[in-house]
Amino acid sequence: MIQPTSSFERIPALDFLRGVAILGILFINAENFAYPDSFSPWRNGFEEPRDYTTRFWVYFLTQGKFYNMFALLFGVGFYIFLDRLEKKQAGLRAMDIYARRLLWLFVIGAVHYYFVWDGDILHHYAICGFLLFPFRAMKGRSLLVVMGLLMALQLVKAYDLTLRRQGWKVNYERSLSLPEEERTEDDEKRIAFWERLTQQKAPDTTQVPPRKETFLRGLQETYESAGLHKGEVFHQGLLYPTLLIMLAGMLLYRSGIFHNYRAWRYYWPVSLTVLGVGLLVNYLRFYHWTYQYFDPVTNIWKGWLFTFPKELLGLGYILFFNGVYQKLLKTARFKIISNVGKTALSNYILQNILLGLVFYGYGLGQFNHWSRFEVLGIVALIWVIQLALSALWLRKYPQGPLERLWRRLTYRSFEEPKAVTK
């Protein structure tokens, strides 16, 4: 008889880390809801000097880091799920249940994608989960080789992009050196392109209509712009980095550090080194992106340096917070954040619903009305709501509403899961 994992089998450190990831990912998601071009370092949300400072610190410390934490923890979760099924001697049923779990995650992600936010990452994780299956039994060294290949692909991509930038600059300088009367139309285009790329720009204060002025209009907009129903079932630019960080999660779990960080003899020196190097590289990367965005990276080594900053710091956060929780917070039953982690799926969807109600036209219509600094207030408010609701919900129920739905859908063809008592 195959039963779902009980609450007593949960790993406390993972719940805490999921909570940190869910709360942290809100920083960047909030900006995506708030502005037409949220990733631009100059266009939207810049009203005062503090907004540039806010943008730098938010991107330096959070952009991509909590996404990578979330992805790493999903990789851990997928591995644990399948590993426990195999230990229960489920045989081929283990593969069926695992596939069903990922299929329903994809469906939940697709519904979220169309009805709430087209930045959904759940359907992408589901596809990555299917791709992870062949690696579950690989030895550590083999996994490191696969990770090395994935890293090499990203470095080649960065190399190619940097070479293209070098070519643009060389073509610009060559065209600019020609007398005006000898320049062709292509020369003028090259000059205009590079000067546009390297021009320091002023903020765009134009008011634009809010996205999704009505809920039905929002569905239409998403359908017209989305690629999911056209067969684009994962975020193509994120596939290899996501697989890389998920495989890293599998290796970390196998090492035993989520049960006891002392499984690594030099845990703190390693963790603090990864965190420190990650902070340094991200500082350089996001200082350049925020304050020197008009100076394209044309140095190969610099391009490579800026290839994995988010993954590195995301890993640093995992190691640091895992150690801090086990050393300082575990005995104090630090549940306020762990509650969010236990209901991570529900909270991920909830925070995006709340952001839609604030910024989209079918809600309060505050799209492109708030500065970068002011958006932090929205983040803090949603944190309070999520921390409170998670605590209240878990007093009565053992898991979040979407977690319960996902579990029931996963096991439906086999047997009803038994109620989990506290």
pLDDT exceeds cutoff 70 at 320? yes
CA 397 remoteness from chain centre: 28
Residues 43-53: pLDDT tens digits?
888 888 899 99
Residues 183-201: pLDDT tens digits?
899 989 999 999 888 888 7
Residues 80-116: pLDDT tens digits?
988 888 777 666 777 888 899 999 999 999 999 999 9
Residue 232 is assigned to a structural domain of this protein? yes
Domain tally for the chain? 1
pTM given for the model: 0.91
pLDDT score of 421: 44
Residue 245 is assigned to a structural domain of this protein? yes
User: Residue 217 is encoded by which pair of tokens?
Assistant: 């209009």
Residue 237 is assigned to a structural domain of this protein? yes
pLDDT score of 137: 85
pLDDT score of 233: 79
6 — pLDDT class (breaks 50, 70, 90): low
Exposure string for 19-43, b = 16+ CB within 10 A, e = fewer: bbbbbbbbbbbbbbbbbbebebbbb
Q: What's the mean pLDDT when you consider all of the chain?
A: 89
Distance CA 333, CA 184 (A): 71
pLDDT score of 1: 46
Residue 63 is assigned to a structural domain of this protein? yes
Residue 166 is assigned to a structural domain of this protein? no
Nearest partner of 347 among 18, 22, 14, 17, judged by Cα = 22
CB 313 within 8 A of CB 279: yes
User: Residue 374 is encoded by which pair of tokens?
Assistant: 């002011």
pLDDT score of 422: 41
pLDDT exceeds cutoff 50 at 136? yes
Residues 275-295: pLDDT tens digits?
999 999 999 999 998 888 888
Residues 73-90: pLDDT tens digits?
999 998 998 888 877 766
pLDDT exceeds cutoff 90 at 256? yes
pLDDT score of 414: 44
pLDDT score of 420: 44
* Window from 34-43, 123-132, 267-276 with minimum mean pLDDT: 34-43
Residue 165 is assigned to a structural domain of this protein? no
Type and span of the H or E element at 318: helix 309-324
- The label of the residue with tokens 């000898």 reads 182
Residue 114 is assigned to a structural domain of this protein? yes
Type and span of the H or E element at 19: helix 12-34
User: Residue 287 is encoded by which pair of tokens?
Assistant: 């200082």
416 — pLDDT class (breaks 50, 70, 90): very low
Q: What residue type is assigned to position 267 of the chain?
A: Y
Cβ neighbours for 117, distance < 8 A, ≥ 6 positions apart: 29, 32, 33, 352, 355, 356
In percent, the amount of the chain with pLDDT more than 70 equals: 94
Q: Average pLDDT of 114-138?
A: 92
Residue 370, phi-psi category: left (phi > 0), alpha (psi -120 to 50), beta (remainder): beta
Residue 162 is assigned to a structural domain of this protein? no
Q: What residue type is assigned to position 170 of the chain?
A: V
293 burial via Cβ count (<10 Å: 0-12, 13-18, 19+)? middle
pLDDT exceeds cutoff 80 at 257? yes
Domain that holds residue 75: 7-134+211-411
